[in-house]
Amino acid sequence: MNRTMLISLIAATMLVDQLTKAAALSLLSQGTAVPVLPNFNLTLGFNTGASFGMMGEIMAGKPLLMAALTGALTVVFSVMAFRAQHSFERTGFGLVVGGALGNIIDRLRQGAVTDFLDLYWRDWHWPTFNVADIAITLGAVLIIAASFPLRRRKEPVLDQS
């Protein structure tokens, strides 16, 4: 994956995230679950904390601080993305950056991240999440996969152009 493809991946991830959140905001009502499949609902919610609502109480009312912290990490991950030598690693960092940017936009625009995907089993619900969270998680899995020595030996080094 060259740099142009990396930038396109970041932009596409951010765009898909923002479009799905816009649809959720216009079609769903907060607190009302819309069943989609067994164990899966669409449920509009807002997260003031980090991933999966962690630090929600600490960061409540401080969206600019949360956006700044996330932004600093995103800059670091962006640098790592452009320096990455292997496609799994570069793709992983691209997904993380695109997802993080999508969530930063929400924090700056409305003070919280829009979440709407609700997985559950019986009475237990996973914290509601969004497309950006999926991209960040998938990106982390790819970065970890790229770190395995067997993967690194078999894959050619990427062209930096």
- Distance of alpha carbon 119 from alpha carbon 121, whole angstroms: 7
Residues 6, 78: contact at Cβ < 8 Å? no
* Helical ranges in 84-148 per DSSP H: 87-110, 131-146
Let me know if 17 is a catalytic residue.
Answer: no
Contact 104, 110 (CB under 8 A): no
Catalytic pick from 106, 115, 118, 123?
A: 115
Active site residue 133: yes
- Which is the catalytic residue, given 17, 106, 118, 133? 133
Task: For 110-130, give one letter per residue: b (16+ CB within 10 A) or e.
Answer: ebbbbbbbbeeeeeeeebbbb
The residues annotated with a catalytic role in the active site are 115, 133
